[in-house]
Amino acid sequence: MSRRVVLSRVRLLVVCCLALSASCRTTPPPGPAAAPVAAPARPLLRLTIAGTNDWHGWLMPHQHRARDGSMVEEGGLPLYAGALDILRTETQGRLLVVDAGDVFQGTLVSNLSEGAAMVDAFNALGMQAVAVGNHEFDYGPAGPAPVPQAPGDDPLGAFKARVAQARFPFLGENIVEASTGQHPAWLGPGTLLEDVGGVLVGIVGLATPETPRTTNPVNVAGLRFLPLAPAVRSAAGRLRAQGADLVVVVAHAGGACDDLHDPHDLSRCDRGQEIFALLEALPPGTVDAVVAGHTHRTVGHFVQGTPVIETSALGRSFGLIELALDPVTRRPLPAETRIEAEIALCERVVEGTARCDADALRSSKPLVGGTLHGQPLRQDAKLQALLAPSLAAVAELQARPLGVQVPAALHRVARGESPLGSTAADALRRMEGADIAILNPGGLRADLAAGPLTYGRLYETFPFDNAVATLQLRPADIRRLLDAFLARGRTPQQSGLRMEIAVCPGGLRLVGLALADGGPLVEGRLYRVVLPDYLARGGDGLEAFMADLPADHVDLGDRRPLNLRDALAADLQKRGEPLVAPRSGRTTLVQGGAARCPPG
């Protein structure tokens, strides 16, 4: 028998045995079905959003004196950079860093570079998107003039330079050109798709529709600021269609909540604010998170199921939203989502607290090291080095003494007469020899602490480059001007008048008006009224009022050599008199009844 035949038979025998073995295996008797082995549960995805708002040029920290005499620093960009370093390690890179606008305007160090120092710092931070704030338009043309002076001046020139400088987008989905209805090409689209650690996030940026009334209206005359809700609905739909797992709104439109302890309790929130109105106008699930700004008030709540954060501004704190996501669908799980609102930026804190603000430092408790999520909070040395030249360039100017003492701190208040407002209005009226001086409360951006007055401290109070405008007004005009102010829920800071204002269900109403000495305004007489040109150009809701005034009754002050702040500095220095708050009583708020408040 040949070897080939033998091998062939052996292979056949092996195949048959294997087949027989398979066919003869016994089947176990029927019994209870074995329980399926559960696949190991996939861990939730977590994506963290770090949000800030309304830095207003405060790239450096605020300084407070502790009870032991030492200086304590609060906030600032180098400390925020240190916080982000901790968070990037903790989240393994699944961190979205955004800001809700009003980045530049407010400090000498930022304003001298028209915001360039802030953009350099945001670039170094790794900022990913910023909403367009109303004060982004304050600088007007590139250069010293805050509004166009010549036919070729571009009223958006300074902001365009910052947009070109930034390595992140400024987003304004609801901003269009008045002439075309299209998004401005220089600003770019109002949305962004960003891959954040494998999660595709769509970001919608919004500017408040109030922008023309809260910056110099001349600078934004060529733009329109559309309603928020329709812009968000349209943008969110586009982003979802492009594959966005999440949609995050970054809005320079805000809210206000007086209690942050329970993020689901809105009873201490002002539901009339823009961000609440926006979310209540959207179908549930349209957006997944919101970082808000503009109001300088805190929010850390779920609104219509959507987590919202906003800080008290000026670089003192930040907020976090930690979204928990289903690992398969990438949809948020609200029950697992966490909010940390108003996290103070402090290297040293009062023991037993996480704070280092002036109020906290009044405690007798010792200071201890500040932490974030158990890690020591430290300033980022690289960002400190980046900012050092800008800070050094303005240090001498900031420290320049004006030869004036402030015996007691001069504070602002949200509504009504304030010591700072009355003192500043008196100084303006005296400087100009006017009958009446009027300041908008939003133009006073910082309290004046007790002690020697320096140019830097005055600058922080008056950061806007407003001219001194002069109006010639009859008594009826003065009443209409005040009514226009009060219609927006604001009380002017003034000198030369005595006002009685009723607090009515529908808002504020002027019910009594006299001169400072109690005498009546004389019908037929023209009164000389001085005020910032921001108001004389129609800001803070005065457009209609100013449009009705005869042109020869308005001097915008644009030919003056000094702006309002610098003219005040020179006048205060010349006089050398201490700044002391006058006796209160020039503006009285009363509860309105049927006799004082109009029906409805």
* Predicted local distance difference test score (pLDDT) of residue 26: 39
Q: Mind listing the pLDDT tens digit of every residue in the chain (600 residues)?
A: 443 333 344 343 433 333 434 433 334 444 444 455 444 567 899 999 999 999 999 999 999 989 888 999 999 999 999 999 999 999 998 999 999 999 999 999 999 999 999 999 999 999 999 999 999 999 999 998 899 988 899 999 999 999 999 999 999 999 999 999 999 999 999 999 999 999 999 999 999 999 998 999 999 999 999 999 999 999 999 999 999 999 999 999 999 999 999 999 999 999 999 999 999 999 999 999 999 999 999 999 999 999 999 999 999 999 999 999 999 999 999 999 999 999 999 999 999 999 999 999 999 999 999 999 999 999 999 999 999 999 999 999 999 999 999 999 999 987 889 999 999 999 999 999 999 999 999 999 999 999 999 999 999 999 999 999 999 999 999 999 999 999 888 899 999 999 999 999 888 999 999 999 999 999 999 999 999 999 999 998 899 999 999 999 999 998 898 999 999 999 999 999 999 999 999 999 998 777 788 775
**Cα–Cα distance between 529 and 497 in angstroms, integer?**
11
Q: Which tokens in the block code for residue 473?
A: 């007004």
Which element (helix H / strand E) includes 6?
helix 3-23
Distance CA 311, CA 318 (A): 6
Comparing CA positions, the residue from 549, 94, 85, 582 lying closest to residue 321 is 94
- Residue 581 sits at the vertex; the CA angle it makes with 579 and 582, to the nearest 5 degrees, is 120
Q: DSSP letters along 233-271, please?
A: HHHHHHHHHTT-SEEEEEEE----BS--S-TT--TTB-T
Query: CA-CA distance, 319 to 49, in Å (whole number)?
Result: 8
SS3 category, 199: strand
Beta 199-207 vs 246-252: how paired, if at all? parallel
Dmax over CA atoms of the chain, in Å, equals: 140
CA distance 411 to 228: 34
pLDDT at 405: 97
Instruction: Tell me the CA end-to-end span of the chain in Å, nearest whole number.
Output: 118
Residue 375 bridge partners (DSSP): 372
pTM: 0.86
pLDDT, residue 36, reads: 53
Q: Is 202 left (phi over 0), alpha (psi -120 to 50) or beta?
A: beta
Indicate the residue type of 343: I
**R_g of the chain computed on alpha carbons:** 31
Q: Which domains does the chain have, with CATH numbers?
A: 45-389 (3.60.21.10), 402-591 (3.90.780.10)
- Report the C-alpha gap between 448 and 431 in whole angstroms: 19
